[in-house]
Chain A
Amino acid sequence: MGASAAAIDSGQGASLSLRCDGCGAQIHVAVGLRTAKCPYCASPAVLERPADPSRPDPTFVLGFVVTKERALEQARAWIRRPLFAPGAFRRAVPSDVRGLYLPAYLYTAVANADYDAQIGENYTVVETYTTTDSKGNVVTRTRTKTVTEWRPLSGSWAAYVDDIVVTASAGLPNAELEQVEPFDMRALQRFSPTAISGWIAEDPSLTKEQCLTLARTETEAAIGKRLAGHMPGDSHRALEYRWKTQHEDLELIMLPVWVLAVKYAADQPPVRLVVNGQTGLVGGRAPLSWIKVGVSIALALAAIIAAVLFAGSK
């Protein structure tokens, strides 16, 4: 197949120099990527490497479903939405649209938790009170009041935790990935180089240990949410839990995402948007227009002052 690799530094970042399988020309594959395109014959190539435990091959891949046109449409709709964003941002046209396979880890485990909580059990009481009626007489009346009795509850809880997805790329933080989740894991495909051929595909740039820490953080939040739903009573408070996981498993998966840049001002860096390549969900952080925020606060304050003055004049 290809010739042996030579690591070179072209001055624009280190890359691997490989012989194109199609025309024999040299392809430079940027370090950290799994795919490249031959500049001479335009053949899409996928990097094949000997097995290396420190750089595992993906187990699964989720294919792109959202086309570039739909991703752009979704992004344009998203850009127009934030009311407090600068007008230039809301009118901006996203550019530099790139579809890429993002490396991520799929985490599953058995979760066990011991919890303590205060459970609120409501009951009603009839209370007597005195008030003044419309004629100015002091009268005694009754009313029904809901009171909460707080009872302690301790227990154990166990369940499977599945489909926790965390980024394995230092380029796209987990918080940004969470904005475009969930991905539909029913569409999982066994990883094959053909599935990513012709697309940008990154190698994991975070270690498995770093990803495991991220996954456990997400798991803790997921357990807390599920435990909150597990609590009986009319309400609960002071829910505390100690948790542990068993039979943890992390699998490398390639997720389809569209990444777009929105350049809206010459003196501002472009805003990055991420579009889920499976569902079209858009994530990003719109900039704030401090003028719009200031005007809104001033108007709100003016409205409050006017209301207070009006109430005082009556």
Chain B
Amino acid sequence: MTDVLSCTRCASPLERGDFRCAICSLPTPVPATDATATTEVAAAVMRCQGCGAAVAYDVKVAAPKCAFCGAVTALETPDDPLEQAEAYLAFRVDPEQAKAALRQWLSGLGWFRPPDLRSAAIVDKLEPLWWAGWAFDAGVTVSWAADSNAGAGRSAWAPHAGTFALELSNVLVSASRGLTEAECEALAPGYNLADVSEAPEPDSRARVEQFEVQRSAARATIARALTNVAARDAAKHVPGSNIRKLSVAVVPERMSTRRLGFPAYVLAYRYGDAVYRAIVHGQNPQFVVGKAPWSWARIVMIVVAAIAAIGLVAAIVAFAS
């Protein structure tokens, strides 16, 4: 087991190949080299490792290049690999349970949906998949400033400011291209992040969604998510019922991120001639999100009844007066 180095400024774990801490930009310790330290002043000619000729930095190849044999010497740059899932949450819902969860969800959508939706919906396709996402933990110092109606004078707004410490644990950030952000947010609370394995279950037919982003882009996405979470939490600290112009500054510390595959079922179901999509959680069948048809007959009926009721009330008032 290798020791995980932490940043000495913000205590966030450092990743191999980083030159600077991804959270606070403090340079990482320089790895020790085998080269013996120079003991005297010398004019050293940089040599090509292939032919031994002198090497100079060539702007056209943006690297040191040997003028004799053309060999290019690579310089040490920070690693920026494509993100890869490091663990997969286990499927705890089987396909039949997923179908049952869909029917249960369809029957609970309310009176404005077709009355036969649960029985008439036909599942066309059910695809299990691990969608890609990150889960992060961090301690954050949040400074906020905002306008609210609390303490307002002649204007409807008064300024407020404050700071607070926020502990974030297992905040999920979607990297999925198949699922929308709203779908991932709806599913997120149902995941048990302790129920993981390092590789997908071998007998699983589930598709594994790839991250398709590099580490640097991933960090930018996660940093934005952290600021958004902090802003949402800061809104709770602003006094009053109306808020505007909320601004936050964050100082994250101890930020650790895991790259995970989250289990879910993507279902396509048919009702009448139309096809709708729904996502069923892969661990907790109570979490279902998707689209469903409306019963326009019922909606029209309610509108007509409302108009009739208003007309009736108006007639009674007119008659009484």
Contacts and interface: CB of A to CB of B under 8 A. Distances in A.
A287 to B, nearest CB: 30
B-side interface size class: 35 or more
Interface stretch (A59-67, A72-80, A135-143, A205-213): A59-67
B42 A18 contact: yes
Contact of A21 (B26, B42, B57, B156): B42
A196 interface: yes
A11 interface: no
B161 interface: yes
Contact of A153 (B37, B38, B159): B159
Contacts of A20: 43, 45
A21 B245 contact: no
A59 B159 contact: no
Contacts of B78: 188
B55 interface: yes
Contacts of B43: 2, 18-21, 27, 29, 36, 45-48
A230 B249 contact: yes
A231 interface: yes
Interface stretch (A118-126, A290-298, A305-313): A118-126
B295 interface: no
A199 B58 CA distance: 10
B161 to A, nearest CB: 3
Given A20-B45, A160-B25, A233-B157, A155 B145 contact: yes
A157 B164 CA distance: 11
A158 B164 CA distance: 11
Interface in B67-81: 73, 75-78
Contacts of A194: 46, 55, 57, 64, 73, 75
B163 A247 contact: no
A192 interface: yes
Interface stretch (B124-132, B147-155, B312-320): B147-155
Interface of B: 9-10, 19-20, 23-27, 30, 37-46, 54-57, 59-60, 62-64, 73, 75-78, 141, 143, 145-147, 152-163, 216, 244-247, 249-251
8 closest residue pairs by CB, A with B? A198-B56, A155-B161, A2-B42, A121-B155, A162-B25, A45-B43, A5-B41, A119-B159
Given A121-B159, A154-B161, A187-B77, 11 more contacts: A27-B43, A51-B38, A119-B159, A159-B143, A188-B19, A190-B75, A192-B76, A230-B247, A232-B147, A249-B9, A249-B26
